[in-house]
Amino acid sequence: MKRLALWTGVLLLLITAVAAVAQPPPGAGGFQMTPEMQKQIEAWRKWREAHKYTFQLTSTLRALIEIDKDQKTKLTPAQAKKILAVLQPYRNKPKMTQDDAKNALKGIKAALNVDQLNAIARIEAERRNRRGGFGGPGAGAGGGMGMRPGGPGGGPGGMPRGGAGGAGARPGGPGGPGGGFRMPDPSRMKDFNPFKPDTSTPFGQRAAQMWNEFFKGLQQRAAGK
């Protein structure tokens, strides 16, 4: 799968960045979180928990990319066809419910063998250990997917410079670190579909392109390429 190993975790990096902004870096002694920021961070944590199956789905797809690099756990054309059949119905839906995400997860796992499922479980356990319990599903999404500092987004992990700008954050706005961060509203992202990003922003356009490349790679594998 020539192009399967692309940045499928980009949206998860965005959400993690929004949550992580409340965590000051070592030595940032002057940082103080306001009550309003605490309220917004809590709203995002609740939102993330309410969409846990969506995050599990994208986390599984990221792990799928990792196991595909190993000849022992590489996807077969038949498996790629089954996974495509599971995911394609959600490509153009504006929303993805938790039932949708659970059904997609079930279908993907049904297409995999025991060795592949065990490999995915190991990868996800390693991710949890690396992030030390912080960040929720999707934290540290850059590992092993071609993400790198100074990538297409210009910032770490391919994100746009200025942090989570694609989600409505505005540098220079009131409140937040450096007097410049405004949290987006999680209620506007209820039942978000990771395969259908908002292409009205440059960040969303890049995310859409990345998913297009992911599905193109899956289609190539299904065709035996």
CA 96-98-103 angle, to 5 degrees, is: 90
Give the model's pLDDT for residue 56. 94
- Does residue 218 have a pLDDT over 50? yes
- Does residue 12 have a pLDDT over 80? no
Q: How confident is the model at residue 219 (pLDDT cuts 50, 70, 90)?
A: very high
DSSP letter string over 85-148? HHHGGGSS-SB--HHHHHHHHHHHHHHS-HHHHHHHHHHHHHHHHHHTT-S-TTTTTTTTTT--
Q: Which residues pair with 192 in a beta bridge?
A: 95
For the chain, the distance separating the N- and C-terminal CA atoms, rounded to the nearest angstrom, is 7
Per residue in 62-83, pLDDT tens?
999 999 999 999 999 999 999 9
Q: In one letter, which amino acid is 6?
A: L
Average pLDDT over residues 105-130: 94
Give the residue with greater pLDDT, 188 vs 28.
Answer: 188
Give the model's pLDDT for residue 163. 31
Per residue in 140-154, pLDDT tens?
333 332 222 223 332
Average pLDDT over residues 34-55: 90
